[in-house]
Amino acid sequence: MTVKQIKQNIGSQLVTTRADKQKSANQTYQAALANSAYTLAAPYVKVNPYNTSPLTALVIFQTDQAAKVTYTVVGKTANTSITNQVNGGYSTKHQVPLVGLYSGNNTVNLQLTYADGTTATKTLTIKTTTQLPKYLRQTKIKVTKNNKQQMVIGNNKLTFIIRTTKESFAIDADGAIRWYSTLYVQHMLQPIHNGHLLLLSKKTQSALVYNDLLETDYLGRVYKEYNFSAKTSNSDGGNETTVLHHDIIELPNHDLVATANDGSDYVEDTMIVISHKTGKVTKVIDLKRLLPKAMYLKYKAGSNGDVDWFHQNAVYYDKNDQSLMISGRNQDMIMKLDLQTTKIKWIYSGKKKATWPKKYRSLLLTPTKGTTITGGQHGLNLLGDVKHDPTSENILLYDNNINVTNGNAKTSGKYSQGVQYHIDTKKMTIKQTWAYGKALGAANFTAIIGYTQKLNRTNYLLDFGFKNKGKESNVIEVNGQQQVFNVTFLIMY
């Protein structure tokens, strides 16, 4: 398909549908902000201010002197309080977004620091809903380890759980739900530069496709909405399809790069750049034009006629050389390419060098001794270029360790693991420098879904996302090789 056809199929545009529906609420909150009757002693409080984030609240009041505001949602046990300072400088008018409330009764402490150094406090009792949505009630959360002294998330932080579908939510170190969205979310809940989230949702809960990309805050206010008309020209006969699927990132200029379906029989093998100003697609990267034809022409189509030969599930931007790192699950392959020219910089794959066309062979990374081949991997991201040198970079991913096409057949299915690598593009080598998960064995093997995140110098967070044929997920934080947090989500429906 041509770039023009793909852009037409995707049909990306900015709309104001949800923001328009929130205008009345925003006018109410602006009126409260202008009302001097709302003071620290008697503030305006609105729980769930936009009707999609029930465990949040908006507190509004005025002060005679300019002040900065900090709030604390008091935790029910040690190391589970949530403290945040409100953005901005000193002001006499205050809008305090409370995030991290419990279901039910909450104690919230407000602390004001005035320009002259004096302080004032106010304690609020805030009651939120006691009735969680059906799919959250039917998810059993079981914490078996939480060493809060060694956990990064045990001190004033939450862990966010992004489901393939249904509601996303966040838990504290005890496994208590402290935030959720009533919007059904598919794959994407991505923080961006201004503290907002990119959230992929749909028009109604009963709709089949997720074609509304929202820029929202944790309280549920929508600032921007991208809509995809999703025209198709494939063998489905023009059925509507979800355009964006696994991952999205923000570029330094605030435009977006997303993994996308282009509307053809070939699925999940295209990336698009979306203008944050117009909502239009400004660039299309079709991986069929970059990789050997045999990879997609000889790949067996599914029962619905779709050819999922690459199955891109991750994209990450390296600002040091303006490149994209991507993961292709169904080729058991990761690679890096220049964003502007789409020229491939390197490829790591279990596919034997002799089976690649000659023009690709110089791009292949050679693993050092003890370095594993990835299989069906997810969540590829860059930890950093060593001394800002793009030829020396540390990367992290979740290795499902399933032999889809080019994985390790001998170890496939025996374990899944988080893996860190060092890549030297001068020598064109890749070296494994850390891994966790192999010792857990087949019990934590996940054929699909998973993620690894580095939290600080020693701690990693791993999501074994599809255990026991999808009946449970297991999130583990480790300090090196030592578990400090272990929570299981059991699906009871």
Q: Using CA atoms, how far apart are residues 472 and 140, in angstroms rounded to an integer?
A: 9
- How many structural domains compose the chain? 2
Helix (H, G, I), strand (E, B) or coil at 434: strand
149 with 267, same domain: the answer is yes
Residue 6 lies in a domain: no
Number of H helices, E strands in the chain: 6, 32
d(CA 243, CA 258): 10
Per-residue model confidence (pLDDT) at position 237: 47
* 45's tokens: 């409080």
Single out the residue in 99, 127, 155 at which a domain terminates: 127
Q: Are residues 223 and 253 both part of a single domain?
A: yes
Residue 2 resides in a domain: no
User: How many Cβ atoms from other residues are within 10 Å of residue 1's Cβ?
Assistant: 19
In a domain, 17, yes or no: no
**Boundary residue ending a domain (75, 107, 127):** 127
Cross-strand pairs, 111: 70, 121
Q: Is the domain of 149 the same as that of 120?
A: no
Q: Could you tell me if residue 1 is inside a domain?
A: no
In this structure, what token pair is assigned to residue 221?
């206010």
Whether residues 155 and 103 share a domain: the answer is no
- The pTM score is 0.95
Query: Where residue 363 sits, what CATH number does that domain have?
Result: 2.120.10.30
> Is 119 in the same domain as 211?
no
Q: Is residue 393 part of a domain?
A: yes
Strand order in the sheet with 167-171: 159-161, 167-171, 177-184
Half-sphere exposure of 450 (CA within 13 A, CB side): 31
Let me know whether 212 and 115 are in one domain. Answer: no
Per-residue confidence (pLDDT) for residue 19, from 0 to 100: 97
List Cα–Cα distances, 458 to 108, 161, 336, 453, 462, in angstroms: 32, 22, 26, 11, 13
Give how far Cα 221 sits from Cα of 56, 214, 224, 299, 432, Å.
Answer: 11, 10, 9, 43, 42
Domain termination site, one of 127, 158, 192? 127
Same domain, 254 and 278: yes
Residues 6+ apart with CB under 8 A from 435: 372, 399, 417, 418, 419, 420
Mark whether 70 and 142 lie in a shared domain.
no
Domain span at 59: 23-127
Helix locations, 164-311, DSSP H: 293-297
- Residue 464, in any domain of the structure: yes
**Which pLDDT does position 233 carry in this prediction?**
57
279 residue type, one letter: G
Could you tell me if 143 and 119 lie in one domain? no
Any idea what the CATH number is for the domain that residue 31 is in? 2.60.40.3100
Let me know if residue 313 belongs to a domain.
Answer: yes
pLDDT in tens, the chain (493 residues): 999 999 999 999 999 999 999 999 999 999 999 999 999 999 999 999 999 999 999 999 999 999 999 999 999 999 999 999 999 889 999 999 999 999 999 999 999 999 999 999 999 999 999 999 999 999 999 999 999 999 998 878 999 999 888 999 999 999 999 999 999 999 999 999 999 999 999 999 999 899 999 999 999 999 999 999 866 555 444 456 899 999 999 999 999 999 999 999 999 999 999 999 999 999 999 999 999 999 999 998 988 889 999 999 999 999 999 999 999 999 999 999 999 999 999 999 999 999 999 999 999 999 999 999 999 999 999 998 888 888 999 999 999 999 999 999 999 999 999 999 999 999 999 999 999 999 999 999 999 999 999 999 999 999 999 999 899 999 999 999 999 999 999 988 8
Q: What is the pLDDT of residue 51?
A: 97
Query: Does residue 15 fall inside a structural domain?
Result: no
Both 476 and 429 in a single domain? yes
pLDDT of residue 253: 98
Q: Are residues 86 and 183 in the same domain?
A: no
**Does 173 lie in the same domain as 41?**
no
